[in-house]
Each structure stands twice: as C-alpha cells, then as structure tokens.
Structure 1
Amino acid sequence: MKRENLPTWQELEAHKKTIPEIHPAAVIAMLEIKQAAEDIQASILSVLQRDYHLSEGKFCTLIVLHQHPEGITPSTLAEKVGVARATISTMLQRLERSGEVRVEARSEDGRGKLVRLTSQGRAFMQEVLPPHYLRVSKLMEKLTQAEQEELIRLLRKLAGD
C-alpha cells in the first residue's frame, strides 16, 4: 500500500463513529511500519537481484545455511525460511546444481537428509554478506544508535517477544 493510499486521520475518525474501538494512531502506525518495511525490502532486494542474481527466497535459504555450518534438515530449513517443504526441495535442487549446497544422507540412519553449504557456497556468502550488512547499516544511519535500539525494543514488544 503506497503512502498516498493510506487512510487519513479524518477518515479513521469517521470510521471510529461506527466502531468506537478504532484507534487512528494505531492504524496509521501499523500501515507506516508496513510501508517502511516494503520500501526497505525493495531497495535491498533490488541490489541482491541485480548484483548477485538472488531472489529473496534463495537469499534467506543461503543465510540460514550459513548460520548452520554443521548442516540442517530440509524440513527445518523450510520452517526457518518460512516456505513449504516442496518449495525448499525445488530450491535445494537448483542450489545443488549450481554447486552452492550439498544434500547428503544423515550419518545416523541414512534415511534423513542434511543440507549444508559447499565451500563454493560459503565463499559466495562471504562475498555477499559484508556488503549486504553495510547497505543495511547505511539505511539505518537515519536513526541514532539509541533510536535503533528503541525501535528494536518497540518492534519486539509489538511482535510479542
């Protein structure tokens, strides 16, 4: 939803006459959070797609694998990335063909699978992550460190953490 499509305070006050529990500030704050997240995500993803040919799903998958050098099961990976098992299966096939991941039988019983980054995948992430974190840091420079910490606290509170 673009900012010009956000309801005005006056529109929300009019709706409040029908449903008194509506709080205009709450609605506008939530929509502003959503818009800011979409804008930030679009700017970050455009660089990842342009410079590294990474989709959001592939990038998230590679980050989770990077965080689990010992390997992770495909079902746990799907859960952490937030996609269906079928989606992760297709993505892993592509990543395996390109040499970035290795899917192997688990040593305990040979029935389950374990996924981990290959040395090529680890090298790729070492190339991608530092400039990615720098871009994110630059985006957040609009806020002081104290404001960033307060934003983290507020967002976690809002999420119920």
Structure 2
Amino acid sequence: MPVNAPVTAAEQASEERLDILSERPGFLIRRLHQIHVALFHDECEAFGLTPVQFSVITALEDEELDQKQLGQKVGIDRASTTDVLRRLEKAGLIERRKCPEDGRRQLVRLTPEGESLLTKVAGSALRAHKRTLQPLTKAERERFIRYMRKIVSANNEHGRASLKLS
C-alpha cells in the first residue's frame, strides 16, 4: 500500500492493535525466525551449517549454478552469497570455477563432500522444520506455507535480493 493511501476502517482497527507486540506481523515473523534458527541449530549443530548455508547446498543439489542464479534461488544478496560461498568453499563443500562462455561469471557446484554432507544433514534439517510447524495440524501447516508463499511472492520486490519461488 502506498504511504499516503487512505486508511480503511478495518486497517484502522488493525493498526490500533499494533501497540501490542503479539499482534504485530513483523514482530511475530522475527520471533518465529529466531525460534526456527534455534531449532535448526539444535538439530543440525553437529554438521556446522547455518540455515542459509543449508539452503545454498540444497539449491546446488544435482546442478551447477552461477552465483547470481544461486542468490536468486535462495533469496540472498550478492555480498551475502559471496560470503556464504567463501565459507562453504573453505570447508570443502562447494567449488567455484569461471564460466567457459563468460569469464565474468562464477559457476558453483557441490563437491563430493558437499553432496555427502547434504545427505547426512537432510534428516536433521527436516526435523527442525517439523518442530517449527509442530503446533499446527497438517491442514494448518499447508495453509500456513501457502500464506507465507503468497506474502513473499506479493512483496518480493521489497527484499534486498530477489527470490525466484518455484
């Protein structure tokens, strides 16, 4: 909604609730993210991966991408992509090479060690995701995911990096 757009009665009623933290979408989204990161850490600590690193190696499963494509697939900006890849490369989980057709592009793929780690961590990461959504019924989980995808898709251009939802 544009900044100067008129506020409807329903929006006014909703805005009046913003004085209560537990009614603020941004507050709840941030808190849910904190909780999920903690659950991911509980389940995946032994593997030494962050949720973003797990997303990156998952995005590279069975395919080689250039750094720009990878950033768009995971929804992280150029600087963050470079930083995450540097750490993953140092750990021996990915390898980068210049694109033969365009030397300005860096191609990224999993190493055999990265593929092996992805296989090992998958079950633990799945448990973290299930624990995050555990309070919801199956129907509520499906609806919640659908609503999150809708919100992300509708507001994608406001993020620091574009995301290509599949």
**Cα separation, partners in 2 of 1:23 and 1:93, compared to 1, 3 Å:** closer
Determine the structure 2 residue equivalent to 1:14: none
Pair 1:58-2:53 in alignment: yes
Quick one: distance in 2 between partners of 1:134 and 1:114? 31
**Cα separation, partners in 2 of 1:118 and 1:137, compared to 1, 3 Å:** same
Map 1:38-57; keep pairs closer than 5 Å: 38-48=34-44, 50-57=45-52
**Cα separation, partners in 2 of 1:141 and 1:89, compared to 1, 3 Å:** closer
Name the Cα RMSD after superposition.
Answer: 2.8
Q: Normalising by structure 1, what TM-score?
A: 0.67
Quick one: distance in 2 between partners of 1:26 and 1:32? 13
Task: Identify which of 120, 124, 140 aligns with 2:133.
Answer: 140
Determine the structure 2 residue equivalent to 1:11: none
**Cα separation, partners in 2 of 1:116 and 1:144, compared to 1, 3 Å:** same
What's the offset of the Cα at 1:89? 2.5
What's the offset of the Cα at 1:118? 1.0
Greater RCO (Cα-Cα under 8 Å, separation 6 or more)? 2
**Cα separation, partners in 2 of 1:105 and 1:57, compared to 1, 3 Å:** same
When Rg is computed on C-alpha atoms for both structures, the one with the higher figure is: 1
Determine the structure 2 residue equivalent to 1:108: 101
Q: Which amino acid aligns with 2:57?
A: L
What is the aligned length?
A: 139
What's the offset of the Cα at 1:90? 3.5
Determine what percentage of the aligned residue pairs are the same residue. Answer: 27
What's the offset of the Cα at 1:125? 0.3
**Cα separation, partners in 2 of 1:132 and 1:25, compared to 1, 3 Å:** farther
**Cα separation, partners in 2 of 1:36 and 1:111, compared to 1, 3 Å:** closer
Pair 1:76-2:107 in alignment: no
Q: Which runs of 5+ in 2 are unaligned?
A: 1-10, 155-166
Determine the structure 2 residue equivalent to 1:118: 111
Q: Which runs of 5+ in 1 are unaligned?
A: 1-19
Task: Identify which of 21, 28, 31 aligns with 2:12.
Answer: 21
What's the offset of the Cα at 1:127? 0.3
**Cα separation, partners in 2 of 1:82 and 1:138, compared to 1, 3 Å:** closer
What's the offset of the Cα at 1:149? 1.9
What's the offset of the Cα at 1:129? 1.1
Residues 9-35 of structure 1: CA deviation (Å, up to 9, x unaligned): xxxxxxxxxxx8241587415243443
Quick one: distance in 2 between partners of 1:87 and 1:142? 32
What's the offset of the Cα at 1:126? 0.3
Residues 76-105 of structure 1: CA deviation (Å, up to 9, x unaligned): 223333333233234323322322111123
